[in-house]
Amino acid sequence: MFKVMFHQPRIPPNTGNAIRLVAGTGCELHLVGPLGFDLSEPKLRRAGLDYHDLASVTVHEDLDAAWAALQPDRVFAFTAHGSTPYAEIAYRPGDVLLFGPEPTGLTQQVLTDPHVTAQVRIPMVPGRRSLNLSNAAAVVTYEAWRQHGFAGGV
């Protein structure tokens, strides 16, 4: 339904958690390299448990390769500096939900990429840098899915 994209992820358990997220929601996970780990790493396998075979996971060499493969209509880049709160977006199936690497987030170059439709934020109390990557992806993915009545869910 939605495409969760991690740009240059660095922490294996976050990606493992995202594998469980997409398996549980029927979304796709797109990993954009270079990755900060090997996909066979034990920490990633442990976090993903037995969901690897149930998840749609695609690795793209770089962002250009991801855009060429996906040809997205809408891409929402999540950043603490975004002006639009995530819950104010009317998500559509096929939307790309783009999240940056730990601990830096998306670079200015990625945030201003012509494919990016909007820079979006997840509200937090003042003085906090960011949420954990897999938690942020879960918050947004479930809001997008909720807007569509949890289609396909039980």
Annotated binding site for S-adenosyl-L-methionine: 100, 122, 130
Binding-site residues sit at: 100, 122, 130
Pairing mode, strands 84-85 and 118-121 = parallel
Tracing tokens 């060499």 back to the chain, one arrives at 61
Strands of the sheet with 56-60, listed across from one edge:
56-60, 28-32, 3-7, 96-99, 75-78, 118-121, 84-85
Three-state DSSP class for residue 8: coil
State CA 94 to chain mean position distance: 13
Q: How far apart are CA 6 and CA 13, in angstroms?
A: 13
Euclidean distance between CA atoms 59 and 49, whole angstroms: 19
CA pair distance 5, 3, nearest whole angstrom: 6
